[in-house]
Amino acid sequence: MLNLKKRLSGLILTIALAAALCVPAAAAQNSTQNFTRSKTYAGEFSDVAPGTTFYDNAAALYEYGLSVGKSDGTFGLKDSVTVGQIVIFSGRIHSLYATGDAESGAAGFRKEGQAAYEPYLAYLQTAGVLGTEMDGLYTAPATRAQVAHVLAATLPASALPLVNDSLVTTAYASRQYITDVTEYTDYYDDILTLYKAGLSVGSDARGTFAPNDRITRGAATAMLTRMVDPALRLTPAWTVTTGPAASENYSAAGTSWADLITGDTTYSAAPTTKGQIAADIAYMLSRESNVLELDYGGAVTSQYVDNVMNTALNAVKTYCEQMYNSVECTYQSSIGKVTLTFSAVATGANLPSYRDYTLSAAIAVHDKLWSEGTITANMTQMEKARAYYKWICDNCVYDTGAKDDSISHIAYALFRNGRAVCDGYSGAYNLLLKLEGIECYALSNSDHIWTVATLDGKSYHIDTTWGDASNGVDYSYFAMTADQSWKHHSW
């Protein structure tokens, strides 16, 4: 028995020693050393495979222990993200940095009946990362600006060095890049921090951020993983010059029609609201297509399809620079399949070549105004919009003889013939503004159409058609408030 006890004692001692050797070292406090990939991604998300956009980012988010995806086994790269969900990710990253555990920070704030984001929010507020500035917004889809605000404060400066500080500061100050962000933009300092830290370089060669657009899980994931993995951070491929040579960097050459589409491009196969149909139209245009395929998965009435068709046509007209102003519809009522094909009156098979000509002509105008100094890097968006307003009025006359089927209803007519009606004027003007990175859309009533643009953070109505007066340019129709515009043409 004594020998047995000794053997048992020795066995117990050996096991205890082995267990002690397996205990990991205590996590560092407030250290980027805590950002380690503790798991290996092996296809846990059914919609994230090699080659998928944001594959590396979604896989990294899993490997860092920051996400296990959705309950259905997908990640949902194209889904919208709520403010509350961004708060959850921020709380996990801050906790991982501070304690070595992504959940320990929020653990002390959990209570029965809470919304998922609430313990993370309480943790971040206690840590001084967030205040109450987003109260009431946590269940709403997050904008890119709101995401920037949350992420910019998640880690201290020592953990998120501003590796692109000088480049971004110069590019932004000279208005050569990130032109859709101004001091009037919500959280603009935080947006610039994302660029300076390498978390974002924007969505195009000009560094466009689209601050008011909803963000997808994929785009948010890219920013999140760049926070914890310096190897994923980006440096803008920008060349910044000052003085007269700065205009050389502003060529819009190579811009495509798809590049002009911003905002929500989430595709819904069975849209039921105006917002969903509008997003479907943006989705279609972002792929440079004129065909929208819908599938309601069951019987639909002709009246219902007619309503969808008219709503879609109204949505596409807000992009009048794209020159689609008519639609044909085919559908199978018994199974709910609907096909909408958009075109323009009086163009027939020529519309693709007209669109090519129009975009090339607009780019040429844009580059000419820059090269001759009419548009300069230090101008505000208001000043640039005014310069394009004058160009439109100086280079077009109203086509008083135009019929409903006239080519004067599209921007092509203005650039090709110097003659158009209101939708041609507005389409050409909106195209020039969008080449400049200025957000705008067309607003219309039963017999007129004009522009609504965001200039230096504020919304204005601009009517180039009525501004083209017989005795020169009438600037009273430029940069109107909504109330001023209403007095001229209600909507």
Mode of pairing for the β-strands spanning 419-420 and 397-398: parallel
Is residue 195 within 8 Å of 202, Cβ to Cβ?
Answer: yes
Handedness of CA 228, 230, 231, 237 (dihedral sign): positive
pLDDT in tens, 267-296: 999 999 999 999 999 999 999 999 999 999
**For residues 285 and 288, what is the distance between their CA atoms, to the nearest angstrom?**
5
pLDDT at 191: 97
Q: How many other C-beta atoms lie within 10 A of the C-beta of residue 152?
A: 20
For residue 248, name the pLDDT band (cuts at 50, 70, 90). low
pTM of the model: 0.61
Tokens 């000052």 correspond to 242
pLDDT in tens, 440-487: 999 999 999 999 999 998 999 999 999 999 889 999 999 999 999 999
pLDDT at 24: 42
Q: What is the mean pLDDT of the chain?
A: 91
- C-alpha pair distances (Å), 281 with each of 2, 296, 480: 84, 16, 28
Q: Which residue has the higher pLDDT, 15 or 158?
A: 158
**For residues 474 and 478, what is the distance between their CA atoms, to the nearest angstrom?**
8
| Position 25, amino acid | A
Which has the minimum average pLDDT: 84-98, 188-202, 241-255, 391-405?
Answer: 241-255
Which has the minimum average pLDDT: 4-18, 128-142, 468-482?
Answer: 4-18
CB proximity list for 339: less than 8 A, separation 6 or greater: 291, 292, 293, 294, 329, 330, 331
Is residue 61 within 8 Å of 55, Cβ to Cβ?
Answer: no
For residue 183, name the pLDDT band (cuts at 50, 70, 90). confident
- C-alpha pair distances (Å), 53 with each of 48, 49, 360: 8, 9, 30
Secondary structure letter of residue 474 according to DSSP = -
Q: Which residue has the higher pLDDT, 24 or 332?
A: 332
Q: Is the pLDDT assigned to residue 122 strictly greater than 50?
A: yes
Is residue 173 within 8 Å of 153, Cβ to Cβ?
Answer: no
SS3 letters across 169-234:
HHHHHCCCCCCCCCCCCCCHHHHHHHHHCCCCCCCCCCCCCCCCCECEHHHHHHHHHHHHCHHHCC
Q: Which residue has the higher pLDDT, 141 or 7?
A: 141
**For residues 433 and 426, what is the distance between their CA atoms, to the nearest angstrom?**
10
Q: Report the pLDDT averaged over residues 106-123.
A: 96
**For residues 440 and 428, what is the distance between their CA atoms, to the nearest angstrom?**
12
Q: Which of 79, 345, 373 is nearest to 246 (CA)?
A: 373
Q: Which residue has the higher pLDDT, 319 or 437?
A: 319
**For residues 151 and 143, what is the distance between their CA atoms, to the nearest angstrom?**
12
For residue 249, name the pLDDT band (cuts at 50, 70, 90). low
pLDDT at 239: 78
Q: Is the pLDDT assigned to residue 3 strictly greater than 50?
A: no
**For residues 88 and 170, what is the distance between their CA atoms, to the nearest angstrom?**
34
**For residues 395 and 374, what is the distance between their CA atoms, to the nearest angstrom?**
15
Q: Report the pLDDT averaged over residues 60-76.
A: 92
pLDDT in tens, 302-331: 999 999 999 999 999 999 999 999 999 999
**For residues 319 and 337, what is the distance between their CA atoms, to the nearest angstrom?**
25
pLDDT at 291: 98
Torsion of CA 373, 252, 320, 345, to 10 degrees: 110
Q: What percent of the chain has pLDDT above 70? A: 93
Handedness of CA 188, 197, 58, 36 (dihedral sign): negative
Q: Is the pLDDT assigned to residue 242 strictly greater than 70?
A: no
Q: Is the pLDDT assigned to residue 235 strictly greater than 80?
A: yes
Q: Which of 163, 187, 183 is nearest to 175 (CA)?
A: 183
Q: Is the pLDDT assigned to residue 17 strictly greater than 50?
A: no
Quick one: tokens of 362?
């607009």
Q: How many residues in total does the chain contain? A: 491
